[in-house]
Amino acid sequence: MSSFHIPINSLGSSQELFAGMPQSIKAYISEGFQVLSKIPRDKWDEIRRVTLESVETGSGVGDKDLSSRLDISINEARSVITAASLFATLLLRRDEKAAPIVAAAVEAKVVRAEDSAAVIAFYEIIDRDRAIFKDAIEGSEVSNEVLPSLLEFESTVDLRLRFEKGRLSFAAPIALIHLDTDAQGQEVWLQLRKKQVERIVRDLQEVLHRMDEVEKWAGSKARKQE
């Protein structure tokens, strides 16, 4: 899955932001909202959940899960997550309501006119959770301030075979990992043995535990100051 990063700030108009978008990105976002408009509204909470996760992590996530839950292709799931996440960030970084932003998007051919009612209705749902989404955006921005941040993590498993005298003598699974960041050229491919994967999983579980403890401590401090 390819990634792109669009900086969104609170300065300038929505029209100026859309006008500066490459045509390929406009088309991809438009495709995402075409998909959204076809999905029954009683299933939009799934999209809202994945949109929040995408905003929190700053990258596309949950496409395979969303694809299976909504019975759409993975490419359709990716496009709807991209469109929903970008517009959620745009909406929450500004004081504008959904309707004028969507109107500007229609004028710039980022959203089709026939999809605009569905897009506005979806962002009215997002707007009801404004505080939750704004916290997610702020947390993502603070986390991304110093070093390159992870945009994409991909993995697959390869089977390595060794032959001796024409006969299979050894086989071992190898994890192939791809890490992409939001910094130009900061991309890594590597391979890991099973023992290395197990060690990394243990290390990350410990990191996650420490982060949970820090969140609890920070939350208790914030409550005391209120």
Burial of 195 (0-12, 13-18, 19+ CB in 10 A): exposed
Q: 1 pLDDT band (50/70/90 cuts)?
A: very low
> Where on the phi/psi map is residue 40: left (φ > 0), alpha (ψ -120 to 50), or beta?
beta
Cα distances from 139 to residues 95, 142, 226, in angstroms, run: 19, 5, 20
Average pLDDT over the chain, rounded to an integer: 81
130-183 per-position pLDDT tens digit: 777 777 666 666 665 556 777 778 899 999 888 888 888 889 999 999 988 777
Cα distances from 28 to residues 101, 129, 144, 155, in angstroms, run: 18, 25, 25, 25
90-143 per-position pLDDT tens digit: 777 776 778 888 999 999 999 999 999 999 999 888 877 777 777 766 666 666
Q: Which two tokens stand for residue 170?
A: 């050894």
